[in-house]
Chains A and B, each alone.
Chain A
Amino acid sequence: MSRDTADAPVILIVAFPISIHAARWVNTFRNRGFRVVLFPGVLQGMCIEFEPTRQVRCRADLDALQPGEIGIYPREAVRGVTQADVDDPAVYPFALPAFDLPPEIRPDPDALCEAVAAIRPDLVHSLELQHCSYLAKEARRRFGASFPPWVASCWGSDIFMYRKLKEHRPILTKLVREVDALHSDCARDLAWAEEKAGYDAYRFPQMPASGGVDFSIFPDPARLSRPSERKMILVKGYHGWAGRGMHILYALHLVAPQLKGFRIVVTHSGRPAAEMVERLASEDGLDISLDPYLASNAEAMERLASARVAVGYGISDGISTTLLEAMALGTFMIQANTCCGNEWVSNGSTGLIVPPHDVVALANAIVRAATDDALVDDAVEINRATVEARWNAETNGALIANAYRELLGMRADE
């Protein structure tokens, strides 16, 4: 009989249904002795990597779950918060919008309470803080003492950036004191929770937001070209909230003569970046162009594997998935020191880490990575070994499963 059926513990995951990170997290422990149900942290479409799935609306529906299937709490059973909830902090004190999401796609905490009452999960795990965990925190307050043990995951900027915003700081401090376990993709943020916010509950194993991946999706390093043979520089163009993609373009302008012979590809960019790219091409003579968003992960991997260096820059991030994928594909990475890249690469040997407001330092790093063949080639094996050890679905899946079991008072299994 499958360990995923019968009386296996039930984990209710509160997450962005569209998120590939959430799907990958679930996939790391999909067949490890739990029944899993997804509750939407935002009312949106669903990432295909959650499949196979089956609708689960109450405890009895769990019996129909087949081994490996993920239960999906139906979207139509979840109503959004009302504008009145948002306007009145006494009604929903954590309704602060982190982004400009309309209230109707943000679930009412009562709907999560109803799901908990109907499914009776053994544990609730909210992935991401500002939407999914604020929601879970409020649902837990309304539900009362019989709410199941609650794990919250800190992703990316959830603590590092939001603790600097006065409206969020007190909420974050309360939240980390209330959770039964805190998972974070960065040691940096766990340190803040413990040292500054008074977190002293179960320490969930620290690992990337996506848990881990099956490394068979990446080509064998021996089949990849050496980075020194590659002529492409990949630029992540995100700009605005936390990303500073335009700053990368400013850096390219400052060192344009030294980048002749390279093809520069800019992804995830808006209209201002497009106009800047036009000028960098026409006035600085750079071979630079915009590349579309690639929905296919395989195509995105292929593009990343063609790059000698990839550049991401911003004022806040966690452990960027692009960094992890680049490390797996032999692509040398430059990032700002406001992400957790320094927990994964050694600055100056297996990656370059620069301050977020120093465009000249960024420009110098780009030139160094573009011209120092030994630097980029020597990083390949170390980086691949690092991510295979620390971003591995097999090992991290066992860690997640054992952490859940410990929280449920069960014997660690593997």
Chain B
Amino acid sequence: MNCEIVVYGSEDRQGRALLVVSALHHCGRWLAEKGVCVRFVAASRCVRVAAEILRFQTGLKVRADEVRPDEAPDDVFGSAGLYVAVMFSRLGALALREARARNVPSLVAVQFPDAKQLNVSVLENLRAAFDPVDLSNRLCEEVLRIEARRDKGRA
């Protein structure tokens, strides 16, 4: 399966990319076997290092760059199969609208979400915002969903 997962790669007051890295340590080998690759965008320096270690330990194809989804949505979402982010309180510069406009599904978990951010998806992913194993499970479910959709499309 040819699929690129794009991860919002900032580790700062809002971004929690290192939690996504931890989740990928749980499912990285499975994703690699599926032929999935991962791209961290807007990646902080510590995330770029963590991404390299992730690649070393799991064999997952990982790249990381500083391209920002709100500034270069075509670059970021052009080849994306799934968009993943963990955030603190608010959605910040995720550019979710741009992802939707390009038919890229998203998996977004928010820690202590502000009232304005609440929706069904955010509520479903409250635990995943703190638990890398739970986030990993949800990520795998999304990949299987994408795979099923593609199989159905081919049939």
Residue among B19, B46, B50, B112 with the highest chain A CB neighbour number at 10 A: B112
Partner of A357, one of B25, B49, B111, B130: B25
A272 to B18, CA, bound (A): 13
Smallest Cβ distance from A165 to chain B, in angstroms? 6
A251 to B112, CA, bound (A): 14
A357 to B53, CA, bound (A): 13
Q: Which B residues between 42 and 71 are near A, CB-CB below 8 angstroms?
A: 45-46, 49-50, 52-53, 56-57
A169 to B131, CA, bound (A): 32
- In the complex, chain B residues whose CB is within 8 Å of the CB of A279: 89, 111-112
Beta-carbon contacts of B114-154 to A below 8 Å, as 1s and 0s?
Answer: 00000000000001001111000000000000000000000
Interface presence of A360 (CB below 8 A): yes
A356 to B18, CA, bound (A): 11
Q: A161-B53, A164-B52, A315-B50 are in contact. Are A272 and B88 (CB under 8 A)?
A: yes
- The secondary structure that dominates the B interface is helix
Residue of B nearest to A283 (CB): B112
Beta-carbon contacts of A147-165 to B below 8 Å, as 1s and 0s?
Answer: 0000000000000010011
Q: A240-B46, A241-B46 are in contact. Are A165 and B132 (CB under 8 A)?
A: no
Q: A164-B57, A247-B19, A272-B13 are in contact. Are A359 and B131 (CB under 8 A)?
A: yes
> Are A164 and B132 closer than 8 Å at their CB atoms?
no
Partner of A166, one of B22, B52, B131: B52
- In the complex, chain B residues whose CB is within 8 Å of the CB of A275: 13, 88-89
Interface presence of B16 (CB below 8 A): yes
- In the complex, chain B residues whose CB is within 8 Å of the CB of A43: none
Interface presence of A254 (CB below 8 A): yes
Interface presence of A244 (CB below 8 A): yes
Partner of B132, one of A241, A276, A315, A358: A358
- In the complex, chain A residues whose CB is within 8 Å of the CB of B12: 272
- In the complex, chain A residues whose CB is within 8 Å of the CB of B29: none
A253 to B127, CA, bound (A): 10
Interface presence of B4 (CB below 8 A): no
- In the complex, chain B residues whose CB is within 8 Å of the CB of A399: none
- In the complex, chain A residues whose CB is within 8 Å of the CB of B19: 246-247, 250
A166 to B112, CA, bound (A): 37
Smallest Cβ distance from B44 to chain A, in angstroms? 8
Smallest Cβ distance from B103 to chain A, in angstroms? 31
Interface presence of B11 (CB below 8 A): yes
Q: Which A residues between 239 and 295 are near B, CB-CB below 8 angstroms?
A: 239-241, 244, 246-247, 250-251, 253-254, 271-272, 275-276, 279, 283
Can you identify 12 A-B contacts, CB atoms within 8 angstroms? Answer: A100-B45, A164-B53, A165-B56, A166-B52, A241-B49, A250-B111, A253-B111, A254-B131, A275-B89, A279-B89, A283-B112, A357-B25
Binding site for B on A (CB under 8 A): 100, 161, 164-166, 239-241, 244, 246-247, 250-251, 253-254, 271-272, 275-276, 279, 283, 315, 356-360
Identify 13 new A-B residue pairs, CB closer than 8 A, beyond the known A164-B57, A279-B112: A100-B45, A165-B49, A165-B52, A165-B56, A166-B52, A240-B11, A246-B16, A247-B19, A275-B88, A279-B89, A315-B53, A357-B26, A359-B22
Q: Which 8 A-B pairs have the closest CB atoms?
A: A357-B22, A164-B56, A250-B130, A240-B46, A357-B25, A279-B112, A164-B53, A272-B13
